[in-house]
Amino acid sequence: MELVLFALAALGALAGGVGVIASRLPVRSALALLLVLGSLSVLYLLLAAQFIAALQVIIYAGAIVVLFLFVIMLLHARSGETRPEKLRGQRQAAYLLVAVFLAAIVAVVVTRPSAQTAGLPEGFGSAQVVGASLFTGYVLPFELASIVLLVGIVAAVVIGAPAGGTR
Amino acid sequence: MTVPPGAYFALSAVLFTLGVTGVLVRRNALVIFMSIELMLNSVNLTFVAFARQLGRIEGQVTVFFVMVIAAVEVVVGLAIIIAIFRTRDTVDIDDVDLLRG
């Protein structure tokens, strides 16, 4: 059962990943990204991370992808990749480098030292356990994250405001 | 846990590589941005898989912070893309080469 769910979610994630980089229209890329995010949230559930899975759906699928779709509709942007590239051979070089990179990273995965899968304590991955860790050992990063969020909001307003317009 | 952790790591590696490919090959700024999100998500998957394997919650806490920063990054990045579109009427990064020597 778990194996079937993993296979389905992994297949969805891979198909979505290919769709993101291969589709002509940005809208289709965004929807493929949505497929990836949904599949990953299923994988998070399989990995006993219920809280993270919920966050994944709320933050990524609910907010980030919607933001992408809004901007795509706002810009009515065509893909615009019909003209020849300015740097000749960059596509071939990119594929070559990516193949080398994939080989290296898979080699690391295959040759990593094997570790026993640990047994899980009660409630592992629930909002309560993650929150307890967040508010004891990680209070300072948590507060800093709120400041970063505030800076991001202000930056978006400033950058997005029309130049020379009334604020 | 019947699925071996290596399967999650391998899936994450392939997803990350797809994201790198998108950044290197595509020229639409929005699609490049989505590829970056793809890479962030693949790293998140690795964190959660390690948290499960080692039975420690810190991996999931890290994913929480990655998500917060990713949200900020998307907001600022999309604002920059909109600003570029306003001034240069394009989202093709090959057309944005003011710093080219």
Please give the residue that has the higher pLDDT: either B49 or A80.
B49
Confirm if B64 and A52 have CB atoms less than 8 A apart: yes
Q: Tell me which residue in B13, B24, B55 faces A109 most closely, judged by beta carbons.
A: B13
What confidence tens digit (pLDDT) does each residue in A79-126 have? 455 566 667 788 889 999 999 999 999 998 888 877 777 777 778 888
* Complex ipTM: 0.91
What confidence tens digit (pLDDT) does each residue in B11-34 have? 999 999 999 999 998 888 899 999
d(CA A55, CA A69): 19
Confirm if B52 and B18 have CB atoms less than 8 A apart: no
Surface of A (77-136) touching B: CB under 8 A: 77, 79-81, 83, 85-86, 90-91, 94-95, 97-98, 101-102, 105-106, 109-110, 112, 115, 117-121, 124-125, 129-130, 133-134
- Tell me the pLDDT of chain A averaged across its residues: 86
Model pTM score: 0.90
Please give the residue that has the higher pLDDT: either B4 or A11.
A11
Encoded tokens for A131: 């929150």
- What is the predicted pLDDT for the residue at A163? 66
- Tell me the pLDDT of chain B averaged across its residues: 89
Judged against a pLDDT cut of 90, whether residue A35 lies above it is answered with: yes
